Amino acid sequence: MAKWNQLVITDAGYQLSAQSVSGQQVQFTHASTTATDMSKLSSDDLKALTGIENVVQDFKVGNITVQDDHTVDIPVKVINQDLESDYLLYAIALYAKPVNGEEVMYGIATATVADLIPAQNGTTVTGTTFNFKTHIGAAASVNIVISPTDSVTYEELANHEQVIDTKITTAMNQANAYTDNATKGKANTADVVAAASNYGSANLVVNSAYPSSTRGWIMTGSGSSDASASFSVTTHNFYHNGKDNVFRLVTSKIANESESEVNGSCSPFPVMAGEKISWSALAFAGTNVSGTDVYLIFDNTSLKVIDNVKLSPSKVQPISGTCTVPVGATNVRFRIDNSGSTDGTPAWLCFTEVKVARESTPSPWSMAPIVEGSGTFDCGSNFYSLGTTSSKDAIHWSRSGNSLTLNARLTPSKTIAAGEVATIGMLPSYLLPISDETYSVCQSADDNIWLAEVQTNGTIIFLKHRSTSAGSTAANNGYGLMLSMNIVLA
pLDDT recorded at residue 4: 81
Most confident of the ranges 373-382, 403-412, 432-441: 403-412
Question: Is 229's pLDDT higher than 70?
Answer: yes
- Overall residue count recorded for the chain in this entry: 490
Residue 290 neighbours by CB under 8 Å, 6+ apart: 255, 256, 260, 308, 339, 340, 341, 342, 347
Question: Is 191's pLDDT higher than 50?
Answer: no
196 versus 66: the higher-pLDDT residue is 66
pLDDT recorded at residue 138: 58
pLDDT recorded at residue 359: 87
Cross-strand pairs, 120: none
pLDDT over 90 percentage in the chain:
32
SS (H, E, C) the chain: CCEECCCEECHHHHHHHHHHHCCCCEEEEEEEEECCCCCCCCHHHHHCCCCCCCEEEEEECCCCEEEECCEEEEEEEEECCCCCCCEEEEEEEEEEEECCCCCEEEEEEEEEEEEEECCCCCCCCCEEEEEEEEECCCHHHECCCCCCCCCCCHHHHHHHHHHHHHHHHHHHHHHHCCCCHHHHHHHHHHHHHHHHCCCCCCCCCCCCCCCCCCCCEEEECCCCCCCCCEEEEEECCCCHHHCCEEEEEEECCECCCCCCCEEEEECCEECCCCCEEEEEEEEEECCCECCEEEEEEECCCEEEEEEEECCCCCCCEEEEEEEECCCCCCEEEEEEEECCECCCCCEEEEEEEEEEECCCCCCCCCCCCCCCEEEEECCCCCEEECCCCCCCCCEEEEEECCEEEEEEEEEECCCECCCCCEEEEECCHHHCCECCCEEEEEEEHHHCEEEEEECCCCEEEEEEEEECCCEECCECCCCCEEEEEEEEEC
> How many other C-beta atoms lie within 10 A of the C-beta of residue 475?
26
pLDDT per residue as tens digits for the range 84-138: 888 888 899 999 998 888 899 999 999 887 777 877 766 556 677 788 888 776 5
Question: Is 190's pLDDT higher than 70?
Answer: no
Question: Is 474's pLDDT higher than 70?
Answer: yes
Distance CA 436, CA 127 (A): 40
pLDDT per residue as tens digits for the range 343-390: 999 999 999 999 999 888 888 898 887 777 888 988 988 999 999 999
pLDDT recorded at residue 342: 92
Residue 472: pLDDT band by 50, 70, 90 thresholds? confident
Single-letter amino acid, residue 362? P
Distance CA 401, CA 489 (A): 8
**Mean pLDDT of the 61-71 span:** 79
pLDDT recorded at residue 160: 42
Could you tell me the pTM of the whole model? 0.49
Question: Is 179's pLDDT higher than 50?
Answer: no
pLDDT recorded at residue 367: 84
Residue 190 neighbours by CB under 8 Å, 6+ apart: 270, 271, 272
Share the mean pLDDT of the chain. 81
Least confident range from 8-22, 129-143, 283-297, 401-415: namely: 129-143
Question: Is 152's pLDDT higher than 70?
Answer: no
pLDDT recorded at residue 336: 96
Residue 340: pLDDT band by 50, 70, 90 thresholds? very high
pLDDT over 70 percentage in the chain:
84
CB 98 within 8 A of CB 24: yes
135 versus 301: the higher-pLDDT residue is 301
pLDDT recorded at residue 122: 60
**Mean pLDDT of the 144-163 span:** 41
pLDDT recorded at residue 286: 93
Distance CA 459, CA 411 (A): 18
